[in-house]
């Protein structure tokens, strides 16, 4: 690794995971561009010391993770010369434990783009246990105002 790649002006900064960006199988990452970001072509994402992805923006969602599992994550910039920067600070984060999933279709919601589904979706939300997930499957669901609960996930 050369001096340039160890220079703090090239290392991605402030890697973090917003608290609301963790599910039982995904972790969403965000970070700040380094000072000399114009020389960074892309960012490599590492999970438990394995390269798992690459992107050109400053956010990335790691998918297909095990529930209730702790992961160590860091990123490196890829300079135009093909040189990797030193890693960002490492963070440890755990996915949530598997939660009970409620599907809005089980409450009569229809994703046809024509049916008003407010009552069905609200009934699914009301039936959701603390820490649970209300799943909105593929489709177009018309709805009015919905009232969410604390400590639940609305997965769209």
Would you place residue 82 in the very low, low, confident or very high pLDDT band (cuts 50, 70, 90)? confident
Q: How far, in Å, CA of 86 to CA of 77, rounded?
A: 8
pLDDT for residue 151: 86
| 6-10, 20-24, 139-143, 149-153: least confidently modelled range | 6-10
Matching residue, tokens 């529930």: 67
pLDDT for residue 4: 58
pLDDT for residue 3: 62
pLDDT for residue 40: 93
What secondary structure does DSSP assign to 110-128, as a single string? --EEEEE-HHHHHHHHHHP
Average of pLDDT values for 124-147? 95
Q: How far, in Å, CA of 26 to CA of 12, rounded?
A: 21
pLDDT at 7 > cutoff 80? no
pLDDT at 1 > cutoff 60? no
Q: How far, in Å, CA of 90 to CA of 48, rounded?
A: 10
pLDDT at 103 > cutoff 90? yes
pLDDT at 2 > cutoff 60? no
**% of the chain exceeding 70 in pLDDT:** 96
Contacts of 82 (CB under 8 A, 6+ apart): none
C-beta contacts of 113-119 below 8 A and 24+ residues apart: 113/139, 113/140, 113/142, 114/142, 115/142, 116/142, 116/143, 116/144, 117/141, 117/142, 117/143, 118/143, 118/144, 118/145, 118/146
SS3 6: helix
Please state the pTM of the whole predicted model: 0.70
């Amino acid at each position: 690794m050369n001096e340039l790649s160890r220079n703090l002006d090239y290392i991605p900064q402030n890697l973090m995971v917003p608290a609301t960006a963790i599910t039982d199988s995904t972790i969403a990452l965000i970070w700040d561009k380094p000072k000399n970001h114009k020389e960074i072509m892309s960012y490599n994402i590492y999970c438990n010391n394995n390269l798992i992805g690459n992107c050109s923006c400053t956010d990335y969602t790691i998918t297909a993770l095990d529930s209730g599992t702790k992961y160590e994550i860091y990123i490196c910039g890829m300079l135009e010369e093909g040189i990797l920067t030193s890693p960002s600070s490492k963070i440890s984060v755990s996915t949530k434990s598997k939660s009970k999933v409620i599907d809005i279709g089980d409450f009569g919601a229809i994703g046809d783009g024509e049916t008003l589904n407010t009552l069905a979706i609200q009934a699914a939300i009301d039936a959701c246990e603390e820490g649970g997930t209300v799943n909105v499957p593929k489709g177009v669901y018309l709805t009015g105002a919905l009232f969410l609960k604390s400590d639940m996930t609305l997965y769209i």
